[in-house]
Amino acid sequence: MRERIGILTGGGDCPGLNTVIRAVVKCASKRGWDTVGFLDGFEGMLEPLRYRQLDYKEMDALLFVGGTVLGTSNKGRFAAKTGHGESNRIPREILDLAEANFQKLGLRALVVVGGDGSLSSAQQLFEHGVPVIGVPKTIDNDLEATVMTFGFDSAVACATDALDRLRTTAESHDRVMVLEVMGRYTGWIAVTAGISGGGDVILIPEIPFNFESVCAKVADREREGKHFTLVVVAEGAREQGKDYVTSGSAEKNREARLGGIGAVVAAEIQKRTGKETRVCVLGHLQRGGAPTSFDRVLCTRFGERAVQLIAEERYGCMVASRPPDTVAVKISEAVGHLRAVPPHGEMVQTARALGISFGD
C-alpha cells in the first residue's frame, strides 16, 4: 500500500492554486506517495467527509487553469479569522472530527494552501496533532513571513491591464478614471499596479488621504496640459480621520467586506474639480484566470518545497519566499502579522519621485 498525503485549498481563491496542487501531486508521486484532495477547504475534512484521489496523469492540464479543482471556502465551521487581526478558537469537536478523518484516510501529512485565515486554522489543527505544512496564497500579498504570496503577481497583471485600458478612454474623454482594486487592509496591489500602469494618484490604507491633495494633483495635471487623470484606489484606502468603507455588514464569523471607496473618491473628485469622473471596480477579475508565468514558477517552487518539508517531517512549518530562496518558517510565527506597504519604503519613494500623489 502506497503512502498518502492530503491537500486542501482554503480561503478566497486566486490564480495558481491548481498549479500548487499539480506540483504537490507530481513531487509526491515521485516519492511514491499518493495525494488526496479535500473538497471545499477544511469543510471537506468534516462530516460528510468529502475528498478525491488526485490522479498524477490529470495534473499536467492544471498548470495554467485558474481557480481550484478542489473548491475552497472562506466561511464555515473551520473559520479561525473574523476580522482585522481578530481570530477565533475552532471548537474542539470540529478539530477532533478533522483529525479523526485524517487518521481514517491513513494520511501521512496535510498540505494547507491558504492565506492568513486558513493558515491560522492550519496552526490550530497542527496543535491538535495533525502534521501540517502550509503554503501561503493571497492576491493581497499581506503575509509578513513571506516576501511574496502566489496570486499577487497575477492580480497585479490584471490591474495593470485595466489601467492600460482606462488610460486610453480617460484620455479620449478628458476624464478622471478611478480604479478600485482589492488588497484588503494593505495597498500592495494598488501601489504595484499603480506604478506599472502609470497611475497619477494612488490611495492606499497605509497612507490616509485628503481630497484637497488628490484634487490638487488633478489640477496640476490640467495646468500641464494633461486633461485626464488615473486614480488607483485600494479597497482599504481611507480618508484621513475616517474609517474603512465596507460594502455590506460583516456576516457572523466572517471578515468585513471592504469596497465602495472608489465611488466615494470619484464622486468627491467630480464635485470638487468639475471634471467628469468615472469609477471602475475591478473586483473578482483580479482573482480569476490563468496565473502569470511568475506565479506559475512560484507555485511550483512552493509545491515542491512543501513535499520536501513533509519528507523532512518539519510539520507546523510554512514555505516562504525569501529571494533567491524558498525557505520554511513556523506557521505560528507567520500568521496574524500583517505585512503592510512601508509608507516610507522604496516603492512609495519611487512613486513619489515620479510625481505620483498618495493624496497625503
Q: Which of 154, 155, 152, 149 lies closest to 282, judged by CA?
A: 155
Smallest distance from ligand F6P to CB 115, Å: 6
CB of 12 to ligand F6P, least distance (A): 4
Say if residue 15 is preceded by a cis peptide, omega within 30 of 0: no
Note whether 215 and 234 are within 8 A (CB).
Answer: no
Point out which span in 21-29, 43-51, 137-145, 348-356 binds ligand F6P (CB under 6 A). 137-145
C-alpha–C-alpha distance, residues 133 and 58, integer Å: 23
Spatial distance between the Cα atoms of 146 and 149, rounded to a whole number of angstroms: 7
The smaller minimum CB distance to ligand F6P, of residues 68 and 101, is found at 68
Q: Which 65-124 residues touch ligand F6P, going by CB under 6 A?
A: 74, 115
Q: Cβ neighbours of residue 52 under 8 Å, at least 6 residues apart?
A: 36, 37, 39, 70
Q: Counting contacts by CB under 6 A, is residue 138 touching ligand F6P?
A: yes
The owner of cell 494612488 is: 202
Give the interface segment with ligand F6P, choosing from 20-28, 54-62, 136-144, 308-316 (CB under 6 A): 136-144
The contact mask relative to ligand F6P for 288-327 (x = CB under 6 A, - = no) is ----------------------------------------
Minimal distance, residue 102 CB to ligand F6P, in Å = 26
* Exposure on the CB side of residue 54, measured as CA atoms within 13 A: 30
- Binding range to ligand F6P, per CB under 6 A, among 33-41, 161-169, 180-188, 314-322: 180-188
- Residues serving a catalytic function are 140
Residues 6 or more apart whose Cβ sits within 8 Å of residue 38: 6, 7, 8, 44, 45, 50, 51, 70
Determine which residue in the list 34, 40, 43, 140 makes contact with ligand F6P, applying CB under 6 A: 140
**Residues near ligand F6P (CB under 6 A):** 12, 74, 115, 138-140, 182-184, 235, 257-258, 287
